[in-house]
A and B are shown apart, each in its own frame.
Chain A
């Protein structure tokens, strides 16, 4: 039975149903109000219900239309490194300071590509660190320490 559905549509629909349900249920905690004086919960409750209904529609539209082509496999290494870099940047920018964070982030994100060798990534990281420091810290006067308090500065 499940094989008759388009998996992509089923998953997309599922995401919409879940998101819609979350917003609608959470909106019930706020004052919904009346159509005359709508409370903070009115629009999210209504739109959440609409989104859930659309999600069911999206999943249903994939009925008897199984996916013909197999999508390319995701690059797990790329996802882990790129998202990891974003989280690392947010978590350490205040503690480690601009220069070390940008260098590590540039190196790690360059390694997300299978075509980049560690040497190339390191060279790229040096170049990008110099460039970003020049543009953002020196040029635009961004208020961030070059080396942060965690490094004993």
Chain B
């Protein structure tokens, strides 16, 4: 079958009424968590994972993917209307978007964000459809050494893109890897680090880890400094863009999409980097750079397109290699495993309906998002007036109930508390939680492939350098660390991430 045939198969899955319904629920929830600051897609997807257990694999993954890219849309609404990015990647949108809203052009900013996102999401999905199959075919030739090198690359690139101290990010990765080793050893069955507790033999539940460090720790952080927030714009009108504005946004949208598509594939939050990169590119290319920061429509169009394109292309490493690019994708790995499917190059051949169904659903999801976001903007503005103090008890409850319902295991619930405290303390000490979760998910894979590779080579570590693909991947990993350490790049990183803090 050619790509048209595969896409036809995908649409026949995605257009199934049940799957459309779950796609709709996904993008609706995604928009909601994107709009409401304090709840991110990571915590939401972690909390909803147990619920998806009872759904069919296609419906479950379509819904979870919808939450993720829906959140990228919703985040921009909050950024524009109250200058408070609901999602870290929308931080840049807030700079000019909020200024536009102040000048009474909120409608134009929202429409630009939605149209740019739609275009970028569509192109990103198309790239996913074209590049995933050949990549997956190449990955079928990967042996244990290549996978080991690939995981090392993924982990190390994620620190180059994270903000803050590189040493701390490295330490967080290693801590995550070690936590991933709790439980029975895969080869010998020896229980490790279990304190003799039977419930820990199967390892720490990663939903508990994710909900603890991304949900509970975030709530504890927000409770430090409680304040209400003002919605300045009570109603939004004038959503239609004029011809003049249309012309102004076309080029930034296309450039943003291109930047985002490339950066999205990189591990460790490429979508955040993409929106910052697009903003500085637009500012540099503009005939009128002084307008930036005072309501330049290009400053909304470029970054919004970039982060949505990146959100789509970050599915490429997951769908072809089974390697998650960032924490949300790590949770998607968990969703695949809960459904009894090991994500990786085999999915595309063994489960073509699932694979193409997910891709086709992204088009439908992006279309649903435009319909949800523009005409219903009034509803989302109302949502913004729900105070955080009424929201976080619901998050705590959903986290506990969700974790308990997976295995009826009260130990999973206690683990949320432990990781909530651990995450809160580490975040306060300036350590980013995302590398820890990435390490936690990849730890068992890393160990398995390392041990297998060493058995193949009879204990000779040179195997990683003798095989060309693994040597290249490890070389790239080294390069990523070197670049991150270089002083000039360090200064740039500081600049890029400064507005986020």
A binds B: yes
Given A43-B181, A114-B226, A12 and B389 contact (CB-CB distance below 8 Å)? no
Within 8 A of A (CB), among B31-57: 51, 54
B225's nearest neighbour on chain A, judged by CB, is A72
A105's nearest neighbour on chain B, judged by CB, is B397
Q: Which of A19, A40, A94, A132 has the most CB of B within 10 A?
A: A40
Contact B165 A58 (CB under 8 A): yes
Given A128-B397, A142-B405, A78 and B165 contact (CB-CB distance below 8 Å)? no
Contact B400 A39 (CB under 8 A): no
Contact A40 B192 (CB under 8 A): yes
A78's nearest neighbour on chain B, judged by CB, is B223
Given A74-B220, A105-B397, A83 and B417 contact (CB-CB distance below 8 Å)? yes
Contact B417 A87 (CB under 8 A): yes
Contact A38 B450 (CB under 8 A): yes
Contact B459 A73 (CB under 8 A): no
Contact B190 A40 (CB under 8 A): yes
B372 within 8 A of A: no
Type the 1/0 row for B175-214, where 1 means its CB is closer than 8 Å to any CB of A. Answer: 1011001000101101011000000000000000000000
Identify which of A42, A86, A109 contacts B392 (C-beta below 8 A): A109
Contact A89 B413 (CB under 8 A): yes
A71 within 8 A of B: yes
A129's nearest neighbour on chain B, judged by CB, is B397
Contact A71 B428 (CB under 8 A): yes
Contact A140 B405 (CB under 8 A): yes
Contact B459 A36 (CB under 8 A): yes
Shortest beta-carbon distance from B132 to chain A in Å: 31
Contact B413 A15 (CB under 8 A): no
A152 within 8 A of B: no
B310 within 8 A of A: no
A113 within 8 A of B: yes
Chain B residues lying within 8 Å of A131, measured Cβ to Cβ, are 394
Shortest beta-carbon distance from A147 to chain B in Å: 16
Within 8 A of A (CB), among B396-432: 396-401, 404-405, 408, 410-411, 413-414, 416-417, 420-421, 424-426, 428-431
Chain A residues lying within 8 Å of B175, measured Cβ to Cβ, are 16, 19, 51
CA distance A112 to B304 in the complex (A): 35
A97 within 8 A of B: no
Stretch at the interface among B89-97, B107-115, B166-174: B166-174
B25 within 8 A of A: no
Identify which of A58, A89, A94 contacts B168 (C-beta below 8 A): A58
A96 within 8 A of B: no
Q: Which of B177, B399, B420, B451 has the most CB of A within 10 A?
A: B451
CA distance A89 to B220 in the complex (A): 18
CA distance A69 to B414 in the complex (A): 34
Contact A94 B410 (CB under 8 A): yes
Contact B425 A90 (CB under 8 A): no
Contact B224 A40 (CB under 8 A): no
Within 8 A of B (CB), among A111-153: 112-116, 120-121, 124-125, 128, 131-132, 136, 140-144
Shortest beta-carbon distance from A54 to chain B in Å: 4
B455 within 8 A of A: yes
Contact B178 A40 (CB under 8 A): no
Shortest beta-carbon distance from B165 to chain A in Å: 7
Q: Which of A11, A41, A51, A94 has the most CB of B within 10 A?
A: A51
B458 within 8 A of A: yes
B64 within 8 A of A: no
Identify which of B170, B178, B413 contacts A90 (C-beta below 8 A): B413
Chain A residues lying within 8 Å of B389, measured Cβ to Cβ, are 110, 113, 115-116
Shortest beta-carbon distance from B101 to chain A in Å: 26
B486 within 8 A of A: no
Chain B residues lying within 8 Å of A72, measured Cβ to Cβ, are 224-225
Given A8-B430, A74-B224, A75-B224, A36 and B455 contact (CB-CB distance below 8 Å)? yes
Chain B residues lying within 8 Å of A91, measured Cβ to Cβ, are 410
Identify which of A27, A30, A113 contacts B223 (C-beta below 8 A): A113
Contact A109 B410 (CB under 8 A): no
Given A51-B174, A90-B400, A34 and B426 contact (CB-CB distance below 8 Å)? no
Given A12-B426, A31-B190, A142-B405, A58 and B171 contact (CB-CB distance below 8 Å)? yes
Within 8 A of A (CB), among B52-103: 54
CA distance A38 to B148 in the complex (A): 15
Identify which of B174, B425, B458 contacts A54 (C-beta below 8 A): B174
B219 within 8 A of A: yes
Contact A79 B220 (CB under 8 A): yes
CA distance A20 to B410 in the complex (A): 27
Identify which of A34, A41, A113, A144 contacts B226 (C-beta below 8 A): A113
5 more contacts with CB within 8 A, not counting A106-B393, A115-B226, A115-B228, are: A20-B178, A40-B192, A58-B167, A75-B223, A86-B414
Give the B-binding residues of A (Cβ under 8 A). Answer: 8-9, 11-12, 15-16, 19-20, 23, 26-27, 30-31, 34-44, 47-48, 50-51, 54-55, 57-58, 61, 71-75, 78-79, 82-83, 85-87, 89-91, 93-94, 102, 105-106, 109-110, 112-116, 120-121, 124-125, 128, 131-132, 136, 140-144
A selection of 19 A-B contacts at a CB cut-off of 8 Å is: A8-B429, A16-B171, A27-B192, A35-B461, A43-B451, A74-B428, A83-B216, A83-B421, A85-B396, A86-B417, A91-B410, A102-B397, A105-B396, A109-B396, A113-B226, A116-B390, A132-B398, A132-B401, A142-B401
